[in-house]
Structure 1
């Protein structure tokens, strides 16, 4: 600030309103910052000491969210430009000083910023603005405050070279708080111009709005141990929709790739199901490498290793985990999809589906559309090659000449009809 000094003044302030009645709850704390910097007089005069410094006073208010503050009555200065903070929380001045004052108010009396932290906040306006907007939007919770301080330390250490990196960290933290895993979506967020990344981000944000998604593994494992997942989009060889890779040397770190063409060519609800599916793969990989698993209360209190080795071939073949998902995870996946359906399927499309009639039992017997059947058959997509699907419903093969998928060894024709008829409607959902 050109070697200037900063003087703070504070006073209660009542916003002007017609028929205004003063009360404690209506009061706002307004803070004015006066900065004395470069001389307004000629430099030759300044050599001998400046009698006419450039004085600038900015004021900001916090409290009840009024957006038209005035300078402090004790400060003889004109009103300066001022904007409110995002999210209807604590308002702040549109300067580094204004943000510092607002943050100070948020953290008192629990925490007092050091001189270095104060300097960092004031002199990194765009970074500081991102932090206070985060707190205003997400709330002044202890976890959010602790995260804000951690990001402030990272700014001090020069770990961010552009504001977008901080914004990505904030978004990852927000998503992680509402997910069953600690997520890193930086690869997605860094290039939201790609249509597949835009769509993925929309779908994942919607998933985080499902309470059941955050508790994805509690029903089976009674365990909320978190692991790390980096999400990305890309091209997956072999035609798979998604792929999960786990670092066996550090199994808490996983990379989930969702195929870009799959995202673009399928509905948001189908993409959401696939993300769920891959999250479960990552979780099972981590659990298999965890030597302290113990028993699983909701599977007859059996040891996880015993279950996997006895019934699922130690997860040593391609479909072993799918068998586990088929037997234990389908109800939870159905519940997540039910919680987000209205946000990913338009009202018009929902109405269209609800008016459908199926004929799984006989061409002459009408069966009305049912959302529970819809979710179940949606989740079964991706599990159709596992042994339990084959043993209970049918086996699918691909005709090498035509590429057509055909069913053989049909075990339950009615279940197969349900699957095929609902799949037709699921595949026909809007791709937008």
Structure 2
């Protein structure tokens, strides 16, 4: 059985972002991470198309993303993971969600599904598409991690905020430690991915920005509905909105998939 990791843990049990390698060019055909040679292996299935597929392919070539998703492939994996595009995506009580992670805990299928909104993929920047895919990958990872901490029992409430809180409580972490671990991982992946986008026009236009602060605050958008996220938004919500809207509208909307 795969063991959910929520990133990479150091010797002290604290989540650490792993070193990130360079992204590979995006192949044309649907891809698996990794390509499975045995049909009975559990796997990651990429049903994304267009820009979203290319963003995923570049992300999946990095060490951090592979570390997040490693428990969904191989002979000892229990759940498949499927990425898909959905038109007019709905996700519980969320308004206009960019992405959604759902888990089928009927053991006939054993599938975790990450859905990306088609409008997001068609109209938003590569950076925002990438941030959304990474957040949903963390969500999927948390599902497996909480299941492991539950002694193999599948959590019935698979909403991100619920899994996030269950994981924090079972690890005995304070809100600050949990948020710090999530944010450091997300910010590192976003920064590494952004460096692959040839987005110099965007970076030069906002050359006065503190880019570490930019990546950190983009990462915080994924924690908005958590206890620590609500507190952070009260103090930093305006700057988060400035960064997010600029990234959505002005960061590059093209990507080299050749």
TM-score (ref. length: structure 1): 0.40
1:282 aligns with 2:140: yes
Alignment partner of 2:253: what SS?
coil
Q: 2: distance between equivalents of 1:265 and 1:337?
A: 19
Cα deviation code 1:110-148 (max 9, x no counterpart): xxxxxxxxxxxxxxxxxxxxxxxxxxx9xxxxxxxxxxx
Q: 2: distance between equivalents of 1:217 and 1:331?
A: 17
Q: Which of 45, 57, 62 is the matching residue for 1:184?
A: 45
Q: 1: distance between equivalents of 2:131 and 2:67?
A: 16
Provide closer, same or farther for how the CA distance between residues 383 and 322 of structure 1 changes in structure 2, counting only shifts above 3 A: farther
Residue equivalent to 1:202 = 54
Residue equivalent to 1:348 = 201
Residue equivalent to 2:112 = 254
- What is the Cα deviation at residue 322 of structure 1? 5.2
- What is the Cα deviation at residue 371 of structure 1? 1.6
Q: Which structure 1 residue ranges, 4+ long, deviate > 6 Å from structure 2?
A: none
Q: Which of 239, 252, 255 is the matching residue for 1:430?
A: 252
Provide closer, same or farther for how the CA distance between residues 376 and 322 of structure 1 changes in structure 2, counting only shifts above 3 A: farther
Alignment partner of 2:252: what SS?
coil
Q: 1: distance between equivalents of 2:110 and 2:180?
A: 24
- What is the Cα deviation at residue 173 of structure 1? 4.9
Q: Which of 216, 221, 229 is the matching residue for 1:381?
A: 221
Alignment partner of 2:112: what SS?
strand
Residue equivalent to 2:240 = 419
Matches within 5 A, 1:125-274: 168=30, 171-174=31-34, 182-185=43-46, 187-188=47-48, 197-216=49-68, 227-235=79-87, 236-237=89-90, 238-250=95-107, 252-274=110-132
Q: 1: distance between equivalents of 2:219 and 2:35?
A: 23
Q: 2: distance between equivalents of 1:379 and 1:288?
A: 21
Residue equivalent to 2:183 = 330
Q: 2: distance between equivalents of 1:278 and 1:374?
A: 20
Provide closer, same or farther for how the CA distance between residues 272 and 248 of structure 1 changes in structure 2, counting only shifts above 3 A: same
Gaps of 5+ in 2: 1-23, 169-177
- What is the Cα deviation at residue 421 of structure 1? 2.8
TM-score (ref. length: structure 2): 0.64
Q: 1: distance between equivalents of 2:32 and 2:119?
A: 24
- What is the Cα deviation at residue 275 of structure 1? 0.8
- What is the Cα deviation at residue 382 of structure 1? 3.5
Provide closer, same or farther for how the CA distance between residues 243 and 291 of structure 1 changes in structure 2, counting only shifts above 3 A: same
Contact preservation (8 Å) 2:84, 2:116: yes
State the structure with more CA Rg.
Answer: 1
- What is the Cα deviation at residue 252 of structure 1? 4.9
CA-based RMSD of the aligned residues comes to 3.6
- What is the Cα deviation at residue 291 of structure 1? 6.3
Cα deviation code 1:282-303 (max 9, x no counterpart): 2222233336769xxxxxxxxx
Cα deviation code 1:137-165 (max 9, x no counterpart): 9xxxxxxxxxxxxxxxxxxxxxxxxxx9x
- What is the Cα deviation at residue 176 of structure 1? 7.6
Give the number of equivalent residue pairs.
201
Query: Which is strand-richer, 1 or 2?
Result: 1
Gaps of 5+ in 1: 1-136, 138-163, 189-196, 295-304, 309-313, 357-368, 395-411
Alignment partner of 1:240: what SS?
coil
- What is the Cα deviation at residue 383 of structure 1? 2.5
Provide closer, same or farther for how the CA distance between residues 200 and 348 of structure 1 changes in structure 2, counting only shifts above 3 A: same
Contact preservation (8 Å) 1:384, 1:390: yes
Residue equivalent to 1:393 = 233
Q: 1: distance between equivalents of 2:111 and 2:159?
A: 21
Q: Which has the higher contact order (CA 8 A, sep 6+)?
A: 2
